[in-house]
Amino acid sequence: VLRLERTVTCATGKNESPTTRGCFTISDRGESFYNDRLQSGAKYWVRFNGSYLFHSVALNKDGTVKDPVLGMRRSDGCVRMSMEDIKWFYDNIPQGTAVRVN
C-alpha cells in the first residue's frame, strides 16, 4: 500500500535526458557529490534506480546554487528538490522504501 508522506515540487529530466518513471526501491545515499563531466553537483543524494537519484537543486563545485529552478524539466535525469525538501527526504525515507516516480 502506498502512502503519501509529503508533496514536493521537483525538477525532473529534460526531454533529451528524461527521468526514469515507475516504482523503485530506495538504495544507497550520500551527503554530496560533484560530477566533472556535467559540471554540476548536489547535496543529500538518494539513489532510486541505477544512476538516477533524488538530490538537491544543482550546485557549482564550490557549493553555490547553479540552478534553483523547480517545477520544470531541467535535470540530466535525476529528481531535484529544494534544500529543505531533500534534507527531509534524506533524513526520513529509509533504505528499502518503495517510491513511485510519475
Which are the catalytic amino acids? Answer: 55, 78
30/77 Cα distance (integer angstroms): 18
Q: Where are the alpha helices (DSSP H) in 1-102?
A: 83-92
Contacts of 68 (CB under 8 A, 6+ apart): 57
Residue 96 carries which side chain, given as an amino acid letter? G
Helices (H) and strands (E) in the chain, counts: 1, 10
